[in-house]
Chains A and B, each alone.
Chain A
């Protein structure tokens, strides 16, 4: 299957700082990228959907000024958690999909964010 690389896999940051997470599709062009967060033993929660070259669509309840998403190219999307707080500690996962909307989305490895 296609490869999606997410970096970093783990990050610890101080409260009030910002953290950037990168998601790259290595061998295909990702028309659409999805950002999720997941709490232990809970389902994936979609945060936002981004299409290359356009603004991300955020799900209800997700603060777009806090979770900045950029999808500037067909192979790269970034999620920046701004002014992070301990409650932002979670597992963040990106997934990417090509031009066919009814094909599987490939997931990155996930990023474990801990805010201290």
Chain B
């Protein structure tokens, strides 16, 4: 079957760095997306990885290892507004996004 494994919840301090890990199993693979979702709102796109390695975009970076079925999202210089759920969503062979429940990130002052 297809599944996503992310920690349910993480807590970090404002100004610090946090890494959210994601392992996945899919039928085929056409890249992996990270989305941010604030409570009561729709997800917003953060990053897309299709090749192994690190993609950096401002305070956010995303890493992919296809052989290990592993990705992480790295958030630097954390701000209070980063408190949200972070969704790891790989795309399967049918170009369908596979969604897990996401990781709720709590930022403390």
Binding site for B on A (CB under 8 A): 1, 6, 34, 41-46, 49, 91, 93, 95, 101-110, 112
Contact = CB atoms under 8 A, between A and B. Distances in A.
Given A42-B101, A44-B99, A108 B42 contact: yes
A47 to B, nearest CB: 12
A102 B41 contact: no
B31 A102 contact: yes
21 contacts: A1-B45, A41-B101, A43-B99, A43-B100, A43-B102, A44-B99, A46-B99, A91-B40, A93-B42, A93-B43, A95-B42, A102-B31, A102-B50, A103-B48, A104-B45, A107-B35, A107-B42, A107-B43, A107-B45, A109-B42, A110-B42
Nearest to B85: A41
Contacts of A105: 45, 97
Interface string B5-46: 000000000000000000000000011010100001111110
Among A6, A45, A107, A109, the one with the most B-chain Cβ atoms within 10 Å of its Cβ is: A107
B10 to A, nearest CB: 15
B30 A102 contact: yes
Nearest to B33: A104
B59 to A, nearest CB: 17
Interface in B75-97: 87, 91, 95-97
Contacts of B45: 1, 104-107
B105 to A, nearest CB: 14
Contacts of A108: 42
B54 to A, nearest CB: 18
Contacts of A102: 30-31, 50, 91, 95
Given A44-B43, A104-B33, 16 more contacts: A1-B45, A43-B87, A43-B99, A43-B101, A43-B102, A46-B96, A102-B30, A102-B31, A102-B91, A103-B48, A105-B97, A107-B44, A107-B45, A110-B41, A110-B42, A112-B40
B61 to A, nearest CB: 17
B44 to A, nearest CB: 7
A68 to B, nearest CB: 21
